[in-house]
Structure 1
């Protein structure tokens, strides 16, 4: 017997669940091809999919699929601007420093906070900005529409508020966009082919991110105990990258970890131990304490060795916005 309204399963929302499209890491497109590309600034924040049924409410979802609506109450009024228009939009949540530059460290103070009193206080101290750069659904699917048309639709929505905006893009001038992004304190540039459709969950060559510093998101699958004063704490973490065949081990990262971060990691890793390696390839390290591959971190590195290992890795930060909960 099918459930009646109000009983059994909840009614599905009047918008599709859409995973974010991802960009490949690479250089700017060749100059002779740049007329076919749009260039946006790459913001140092947390990716966020905005969903609204058009009733004045909205739901914010991280790239890992976690509901983060309660963490950013100052974004709630955006739902009113979209009233009457069921929509799914793509954007980046950032916190700006006193110079107006995105500061991921300040954003981390907002991530995962759910207590209403605390979120209200943090919203006053460290207000977030939502940078919107795509629309995938507006009363109907826009996934197959080319980038230039989706951006025109987004601009036509007239979304502007104290905590959200729709920055423009430039066409055909990658070098100028790169220089402007660096002057503005951004991570680099996102190049998007003007004709590209939106491919949910796909890391497409039609979107290319060019960063000032080469960084990589890695999954922590274990740790090695430190020596001396670091006894009992992670001296380094054993990391991998997610591939279709599974998690591939790429090396260990210890450089750049602060004492506070080591203690934080020790706490997190103590509750997700594993009795076997989570990597699909051999790990040529002794004494590894394995862990469930849930924690995601961002590292910097200088390149790859011939054996597929990261060269000169340096720890940047944990990425709670990419960590899968539960």
Structure 2
């Protein structure tokens, strides 16, 4: 098996690009995975953004074409409203036990939405323009080689797709320059993503105990999260909603405590810019764990990047990415 590539990343935008030079796709609320198959092998290797092998977690997806192919796509599952929802996948994405994975596949079936083709029959396609890669991908669909996966439709009208996905409650859209090459591991303006709900991947720097718990019985009640910047980890707020039960226990298992705050701030502030009311009683942790957070209210993007999160809620652990990826 040749070394796996790293996925190309999109740049956040605030409006769909106009003109014939662009094509537009639905932005799926799932888990990004690269898939690699080999000639004569029935199993496809599935790899996360940071290179971790996720194949055991997705047995119904890891049965791709028996030929040499590397694809890029998103694993999705539907919630009770029939919409793709990252939260539905949280239990599955951490599992590596084959028996549990088989039960998950029956109870929470996943779909692999393949939107790019990086290699075919020994030929690396990353230097080909998007339009050529898409043409070859569609020929694979017509031949039936990708029958166990789905290749989502593309659209010429980005403004229309942006409006429709908002009405339907989907996450957003991704606009791609037709002439764009595939740049493994790079974030490029040739791909632009526009999300309707504001989601942020942030780094955990501390935790506060649940109200009413003390001493050795302390239970995790809230996370203190920050955004990596060139100046260090900047504090963005406290997240308490959505943490409880096995979620809280799972988080507690992954956090490594440290005596000092990992947040960046003025030298005179020993807690790194964390307000006293948030720092009081906080257990500081090494900034290693990435979590997904959703914010509510108006101007959420501005609230996140220029100040504190507004009414944030915990969505899930992102073990497919690391702090350096942010």
How does the TM-score come out when normalised to structure 1? 0.82
- Number of residue pairs aligned between Structure 1 and Structure 2: 301
Alpha-carbon contact 1:28-1:208 (below 8 Å) kept: no
Aligned to 2:102: 120
* 1:194-213 map, 5 Å: 194-213=178-197
The CA deviation string for residues 254-274 of structure 1, in whole angstroms up to 9 with x for no partner, is: 2423433444433332xx222
Distance 1:78 1:308, change over 3 A: same
Aligned CA-pair RMSD: 2.7
Distance 1:153 1:247, change over 3 A: farther
Alpha-carbon contact 1:216-1:299 (below 8 Å) kept: yes
Aligned to 1:284: 273
After superposing the two structures, state which structure 1 stretch, 37-46 or 178-187, moved more: 178-187
> How far off its partner does 1:236 sit?
3.0
> How far off its partner does 1:252 sit?
2.0
Distance 1:129 1:307, change over 3 A: closer
How far apart in 2 are the matches of 1:183 and 1:323? 30
How far apart in 2 are the matches of 1:91 and 1:19? 12
**Structure 2: unaligned runs, 5 residues or longer:** 267-271
How far apart in 1 are the matches of 2:140 and 2:189? 28
Distance 1:150 1:263, change over 3 A: same
How far apart in 2 are the matches of 1:103 and 1:116? 23
Local SS of the residue matching 2:53:
coil
Aligned to 1:131: 113
The CA deviation string for residues 135-193 of structure 1, in whole angstroms up to 9 with x for no partner, is: 1222222222111111112112124435x20012012x112112332355420111111
**Structure 1: unaligned runs, 5 residues or longer:** 1-12
How far apart in 2 are the matches of 1:317 and 1:305? 18
Aligned to 1:142: 125
Alpha-carbon contact 1:42-1:190 (below 8 Å) kept: yes
Local SS of the residue matching 1:78:
coil
Alpha-carbon contact 1:91-1:131 (below 8 Å) kept: yes
Aligned to 2:200: 216
Alpha-carbon contact 2:37-2:64 (below 8 Å) kept: no
How far apart in 1 are the matches of 2:179 and 2:316? 35
How far apart in 2 are the matches of 1:246 and 1:62? 28
Match of 1:22 among 9, 20, 23: 9
Distance 1:246 1:140, change over 3 A: farther
The CA deviation string for residues 91-111 of structure 1, in whole angstroms up to 9 with x for no partner, is: 000112355421322212311
> How far off its partner does 1:128 sit?
0.8
> How far off its partner does 1:210 sit?
0.8
How far apart in 1 are the matches of 2:82 and 2:264? 43
After superposing the two structures, state which structure 1 stretch, 116-125 or 249-258, moved more: 249-258
* 1:160-199 map, 5 Å: 160-162=146-148, 164-171=149-156, 173-199=157-183
How far apart in 1 are the matches of 2:65 and 2:34? 13
> How far off its partner does 1:79 sit?
3.6
* 1:55-94 map, 5 Å: 55-56=40-41, 57-80=43-66, 83=67, 85=68, 87-94=69-76
* 1:256-295 map, 5 Å: 256-260=241-245, 261-269=247-255, 272-282=256-266, 283-285=272-274, 286-287=279-280, 288-295=282-289
